[in-house]
């Protein structure tokens, strides 16, 4: 810079910064030799904060407004410069403008799967990604902790570090929270709010405010997702036998298919048919008659329903003979018990029990 530029710089009395980028966080106002004219006007716009740095030391912090650079407006800088009785010549100081707007749509995501213990599926690995937003909250702290003397500081210079904080803390928070995987997928908003509250203090230590963390997706390994899809499909199928019959009918109607799925289904159907064909043939026997559905005609009255044991007792007591009429559900009319196949066995001829010995004759006087 030549002498003319230096002289013109001393007469320039407006200090301001208009940001025409979308990623600048800090901008240092450039002035030849860092000389600022006494009485210059400094404009700090909304979403900006200005910091004066004198000989490497933070002096005054100015919030939005218009300032005339005089001793009363720069008390700390005036003290550092020993301006006890005012000043009228250019002074050396650095002016940094901080952009305090919110930077949004910053990306984060897990590079490697996170292992967690799930109450339903056991140990599973998940991946997650989303976006987050942040802004400068404490310009002095941000300068001391992160920026240093960088005259043009952008989001890219710190985004990797901020993303690593989110990923690391997200992994540990989710792994220790014991939140079921399926509940995570159904509550992205609540999970993002919870993680934001846990991580925000670490951003505050850098002079930043973490405004939000959005969880866009939580995914499982491909093999686990396939297993879940099969599990869901089985729940929708219901009765496997009926489903196989339906698939067989569809395959025949459509002329068959060469897909791997249809081939696997064909094997399943073939195995099912083989099970049926390989069963040993058994003689067809009627099912046993119900035990308690007989009605017996005693005189002109119907007694029942009675079981076989009760009928056998009636036969032994002489209350029921082969000619006694009986009926059960399915019979058209009353029928003699002896002519009924199910009851004929009750009247089979049996040897009479031995005659008990007769009592000795009693003497008569």
Give the rounded distance of the alpha carbon of 343 from its chain centre: 66
Say if residue 362's pLDDT is above 80: no
Looking at the structure, tell me whether residues 44 and 79 fall in a common domain.
yes
- Which 3 state secondary structure label does DSSP give 313? helix
Among 99, 129, 161, the domain boundary falls at 99
Look up the domain containing 46 and give its range. 3-99
Comparing CA positions, the residue from 87, 75, 180, 52 lying closest to residue 126 is 180
Looking at the structure, tell me whether residues 90 and 169 fall in a common domain.
no
Q: What is the pLDDT of residues 153-163, one digit of tens each?
A: 999 999 999 99
- C-alpha span between 247 and 263 (Å, rounded): 11
Q: How many domains does the chain have?
A: 4
Q: Is residue 209 part of a domain?
A: yes
Looking at the structure, tell me whether residues 310 and 269 fall in a common domain.
no
Looking at the structure, tell me whether residues 15 and 117 fall in a common domain.
no
Comparing CA positions, the residue from 125, 128, 145, 244 lying closest to residue 188 is 128
Count the neighbouring beta carbons within 10 Å of the beta carbon of residue 187: 14
Looking at the structure, tell me whether residues 254 and 306 fall in a common domain.
no
Q: What is the pLDDT of residues 235-264, one digit of tens each?
A: 666 566 666 666 666 665 565 555 555 555
- C-alpha span between 131 and 106 (Å, rounded): 5
Looking at the structure, tell me whether residues 108 and 51 fall in a common domain.
no
Q: Is residue 262 part of a domain?
A: yes
Q: What is the pLDDT of residue 157?
A: 92
Q: Please list, in sequence order, all residues whose beta carbon lies within 8 angstroms of the beta carbon of residue 238, skipping any fewer than 6 positions away.
A: none
Higher pLDDT, 58 or 106: 106
Instruction: Give one word for 70, left, alpha or beta, with left for phi > 0 and alpha for psi -120 to 50.
Output: beta
Looking at the structure, tell me whether residues 72 and 46 fall in a common domain.
yes
Among 99, 116, 145, the domain boundary falls at 99
Q: What is the pLDDT of residues 199-237, one digit of tens each?
A: 999 999 999 999 999 999 888 877 777 777 776 776 666
Q: Is residue 339 part of a domain?
A: no
Looking at the structure, tell me whether residues 135 and 40 fall in a common domain.
no
Looking at the structure, tell me whether residues 88 and 107 fall in a common domain.
no
CATH for 130 = 3.30.479.30
What's the predicted TM-score (pTM) here?
0.56
Looking at the structure, tell me whether residues 316 and 247 fall in a common domain.
no
Q: Is residue 8 part of a domain?
A: yes
The fraction of the chain above a pLDDT of 90, given in percent, is: 23
Q: Is residue 231 part of a domain?
A: no
The label of the residue with tokens 């000795």 reads 360
Q: Is residue 244 part of a domain?
A: yes
Count the neighbouring beta carbons within 10 Å of the beta carbon of residue 153: 24
Confidence of residue 50 (pLDDT cuts 50, 70, 90): very high
Tokens matching residue 205: 């230590």
Looking at the structure, tell me whether residues 166 and 63 fall in a common domain.
no
Highest mean pLDDT: which range of 109-113, 152-156, 252-256, 337-341: 152-156
Q: What is the pLDDT of residue 4?
A: 46
């Amino acid at each position: 810079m030549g002498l003319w530029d230096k002289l013109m710089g001393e007469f320039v009395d407006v200090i301001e910064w208009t940001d025409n980028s979308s990623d600048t966080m800090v901008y240092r106002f450039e002035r030849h030799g860092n000389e600022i004219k006494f009485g210059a006007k400094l404009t700090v716009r909304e979403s900006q904060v200005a910091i004066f740095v004198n000989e490497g030391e933070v002096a005054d912090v100015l919030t939005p407004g218009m300032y005339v650079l005089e001793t009363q407006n720069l008390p700390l800088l005036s003290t550092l410069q020993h301006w006890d009785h005012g000043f009228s010549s250019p002074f050396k100081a650095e002016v940094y403008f901080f952009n305090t707007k919110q930077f949004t749509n910053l990306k984060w995501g897990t590079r490697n799967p996170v292992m967690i213990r799930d109450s339903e599926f056991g140990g599973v690995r998940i991946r997650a990604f989303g976006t987050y937003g942040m802004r400068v909250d404490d310009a002095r702290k941000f300068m001391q902790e992160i920026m240093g003397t960088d005259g043009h500081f952008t989001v890219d210079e710190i985004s990797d570090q901020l993303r690593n904080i989110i990923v690391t803390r997200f992994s540990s928070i989710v792994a220790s929270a014991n939140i079921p995987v399926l509940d995570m997928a159904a509550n992205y908003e609540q999970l993002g709010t919870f993680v934001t509250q846990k991580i925000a203090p670490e951003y505050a230590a850098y002079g930043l405010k973490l405004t939000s963390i959005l969880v866009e997706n939580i995914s499982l390994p491909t093999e686990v997702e396939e297993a879940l899809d099969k599990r869901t499909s089985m729940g929708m199928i219901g009765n496997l036998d009926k489903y196989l019959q339906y698939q067989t009918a569809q395959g025949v109607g459509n002329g068959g298919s060469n897909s791997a799925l249809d081939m696997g289904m064909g094997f399943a159907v073939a195995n099912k048919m083989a099970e049926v064909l390989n069963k040993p043939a058994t003689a067809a026997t009627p099912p046993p008659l119900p035990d308690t559905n007989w009605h017996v005609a005693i005189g002109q009255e119907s007694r029942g329903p009675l079981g076989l044991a009760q009928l056998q007792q009636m036969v032994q007591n002489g209350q029921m003979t082969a000619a006694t009429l009986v009926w059960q559900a399915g019979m058209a009319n009353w029928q003699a018990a002896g002519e009924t196949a199910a009851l004929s066995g009750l009247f089979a001829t049996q040897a009479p029990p031995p005659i008990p010995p007769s009592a000795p004759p009693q003497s008569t006087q």
